[in-house]
Amino acid sequence: MFDEVGTNSDFISWTDMEQSIIQRTFLWLGWITALVFGVGYYVLGLMQSGAIDMSTYMWYYWLSFIGWLWLVVAISFGARKFNYMTLAIMFILFWLLEWFGLAGVFAAYNQASIINAFAGASIMFITMALWGYSTKTDLSKLGNLFLVWLISIIVISLLNVFIFKSSWLEMVISIFWIVLFLWLTAYDLQMLKRWAASWDRRLEIFFWLWLFLNFINIFLFLLSLFGGRD
């Protein structure tokens, strides 16, 4: 789509192209987030009215989680292999399954906690995104550090689930997860800005996916830390 950038007036300037890509990414990210949360609440209403039985929901939840995980992996590793339409269909399936999963989270917490966590996650996400876009620091050098950080948190989390079973350690782990996803938000924005020079529309879907995952994980871990359960 954006194969070259020239000085001729017939071409979009580098700055205009970069801003257009980022604006479009955040526009779609906003619509996707609004739809996911809106339909999640709708599914919650069906659960509360008895239209969806909780025991049945749990079966569907785990089946949808397997499909959700497969789609995350497929989009992440297939961003340059599949065509745009295939990736778009996969992404639509991804957020259809996300609606279903969030309904169970909404059922566990009171509404005030969900609104507060959403507001807090939004402020933190946007702040780190703006910083990642504007900073002169090369965050790509931190890629290996983020990987080590991710693996370490997963290992500690598993140890806590099966061995330590400590509530305070669980709280610390949640804080580390939030910090990690905030840094990844800044990292992804810088990568989005950098790759705009040789843009491939398929990469839009890749960034929609990972920026959304960053936001939703910040939201979920804030909710686990500060949310009041029903």
The type of residue at 114 is I
Is 113 inside any structural domain? yes
Is 25 inside any structural domain? yes
Burial of 148 (0-12, 13-18, 19+ CB in 10 A): exposed
Q: How confident is the model at residue 177 (pLDDT cuts 50, 70, 90)?
A: very high
Total tally of structural domains belonging to the chain: 1
pLDDT single digits (tens) 132-174 = 999 999 998 888 898 899 899 989 998 998 898 898 999 999 9
Phi and psi based region of residue 50 (left: phi greater than 0; alpha: psi -120 to 50; beta: remaining):
left
Is 3 inside any structural domain? no
Tokens of 157: 């989390």
Averaged pLDDT, 45-52: 81
Is 75 inside any structural domain? yes
Rounded (5°) CA angle 100-104-109 = 140
Considering the chain, what percentage of its residues have pLDDT values greater than 70? 92
pLDDT value of residue 217: 95
Is 132 inside any structural domain? yes
Is 2 inside any structural domain? no
Is 10 inside any structural domain? no
In the DSSP assignment, the letter for residue 13 is P
**Rounded mean pLDDT of the chain?**
86
With beta carbons less than 8 A apart as the criterion, state whether 180 and 149 touch.
yes
pLDDT single digits (tens) 110-122 = 889 999 999 999 9
The type of residue at 112 is A
In which domain, by residue range, is 21 found? 15-226
Is 9 inside any structural domain? no
